[in-house]
Structure 1
C-alpha cells in the first residue's frame, strides 16, 4: 500500500487493512472524516504549530532553553485578580460617569433656577406696581366715601342721635334736679326733699318720692387728706336728683319753685350757711351741654331768656320776639352765629 493513500472503511469507520466495504481513496490532508490518533490531535508541549501559510505542514520545535528563561519572566494572572481589575475599572468608569452626570444636572438645575428667579423677580415687581396702583385707587375711593358719608349721611346720624336723646329725656321726665342745697354728712335726701317741698308750699309725701340722691363728684376747696375728709370744705354742694312717682307732682313742684324764684336754703339745712337754691327739670347730658352753650350765647349777645320745658330748650331775645327751640349745636350756630356776624 502506498504511503500517499490509506484505505479506510467509511461504513464501519475502522481502519483495516482489508475490509469488505467499498474502498475509498482519501487524501490525508483534504479529508475531514479521517480518524487520527489522539497523539495527532494534541501535539506535544515541545511542538509549536505554524501560524499558517504556504508551509502548513511545517512544525517547529520549541527551544527548551529559551522557553525556560522566558517562563521565569512571565507573570501569571488568576481569575480573582482579573475580576478585581475589572471591578476597579468599572468602579472608576462609573465614578467618572456619575460625576459628569451630577455636574451636568447641577448646571442644568442652576440655570433653570436662575431663570425662575428672574421670572419671579419680574413678577414681584409687577405685583408691587399693581399693589401701589390699587392702594392709590383705594385711597381715592375712601376719600370719596368719607365725603359722601359726611355729606349724605350726616343728617341720618344726627337724626338717630336726636331720637336717642329724646328717648333718654323721656325716661327722666319725672326727675327734678335741685342745685345749691348745702350738703352735710349723713344727711337724708328724702327728708331734705320733703322739707324743701313744704317750704315751697307743695304737699309732698315720702310715698310720692321714688328716689332721692346726690349725684356728681365732690369738689373741695383745696387738697386734703382722704383720712380727714370731714374737715375739708366743699367748693359747692353736689346736685340733689329727685324722682317722683307722678309727672303732675313734678310739674307742680317746678311751678312753685319758679313762683318763688330766688329762695334760699334757710329752714331746710339749718347747720350750714344759707345758699340760694335752684330747682329745674333734669336733663340728659347732651341737653345739659346744649343748654349751657345756649345760655352762654344769650349772655354774650345779651338775650334775656333761656329756659327748658319738658326737656326742650328755648331761647328768646326779649318780650317782643318769639321763642326759638334749640335742637342741637347746629341750631346754636344758625341762631346765634348770624346774629353775632350782623352785630359786628
Structure 2
C-alpha cells in the first residue's frame, strides 16, 4: 500500500497452519502486526472488509505449488513451442539456403546463357550486316538489270518500228486483190492480165511493165468459198495510188451489185464483188481492225488507210456544221508528204503540197468541184507554197512558213519571186506565216510588209491570231 513499509514477519510457515480458517478482517490483523513494532510508521486508513471468498489456509499453502507446477508446465510448453519454432525456423532457413543456392545456380546458368545469347546476338548482328551488304549489292544489281531491261525494251521497240517501216516500204507499191476465183491452171500471166483488165474497167491504163511482181498468197488449196488473195507489186507508188483512187471513184455512187466485180472484169462464173486494198503487214492489219472498231464506237464516219497510215475522220461533220456555203478553205500544218496524202471530201477538189521541209508542214486546199480550180506548187525556200488558179482573173497564193526559221530573208526572196510570176489581175494571199505584223519595230517585219504592199497586198487581219501576235495573214 502507499505510505506503508513493512518487513514480512519471521513467523515460520507452520504458524499459518494453525490459524483458523474462519473469516478474518484485514484491518484487525494489520493492526496487531503493526502494534508489535515500534519502527513502523503507520498511517491508518479505513479499509473495507474483505469479501467472504478469501481462501482457506490449506488453499493458501497449495497455491504456490500449483503455481509452480503451472509455471513449470507453461515453461515446458513454452520450451517445446520454442524448440518447435526453432526447428521450423531451422528447416525454413535450410530450405531458404537451399533455394538461395538453387537461385544462385540458376543465376549462374542465366549469366552463362546471357553470355551465350550475347555471343549469338553478336553473330546475328554480324550476319545481318553481311546480309545488308549483300542486299545492297543485289539492289544495285537489280537496278542495273532494270535499267538494262528498259534499254533493251526501248531497243526492241525501235527494232520493231524499223521492221514495220521496212515492211511498209517493201509493200508500199503493192496491192491486194481479194475474192478473185482461182483458175485450175493459173499462172503469173493470167494474174497480170487480171490486173490489166481491172485497170481498163476503172479507166487506168496499166501495162505489163508497170508490174514488178504478182502472185497469189500461199496457203491450202481452196476448201472454202473465199479464194486466197492476189498480191500485185507495181514498179512505182504512183501507179498503185492511181489504181486505188480509180477503183474508189468507180465504186462511188454505184449500187452494191454494180461495183467492181468479176463479171465486169470478164471472169466466167458467178458474179463476185472484187475488193482492192493496200498490201499491209499483219501488225498494220490488226491495228486497222482495232481502228475500225474504235471509229464505230466513237461516231467517226470514215476510217481508211493510205500508204500504210491509218486515218479517222470527222471532218465532214465540221463542213456540215458551217452555217454558210464554203467555196474554198485552206489548211496548214497538215503533216502531209508523198506517202501521206490528205483525205478527200465529197463535192470538193483537194490540192496539197508534196514538198516537205519538216514533219509538221504541209498545205491542203479544198475547192468546190464546180469552180474547176487548178493548182501549182512552185519551188519555195524555207516554207510551203501552193498556187490555186480559180480563173485567169483570180489566183490564191497559199503559204506556210515554219517558225524554226528565224531569219525571213530567204522566205521573203522566194515569195517575191513567186509573186512576180503571177499574171492574174487579182491576187489573194493567205496562210500561217509566223511573222508578227504587230511588231512595228522589227526590220524583217517591215521588209515583209513592204514587199506585200509593192504587189498591192495589205493585211486584212487586224486582231491577234495567237496570244498577242498576228501570225496568220490574209491579204
**Interval of TM-score (by shorter of Structure 1 and Structure 2):** 0.3 to 0.5
Larger RCO, structure (CA 8 Å, separation 6 or more): 1
Indicate the structure with greater helix content.
Answer: 1
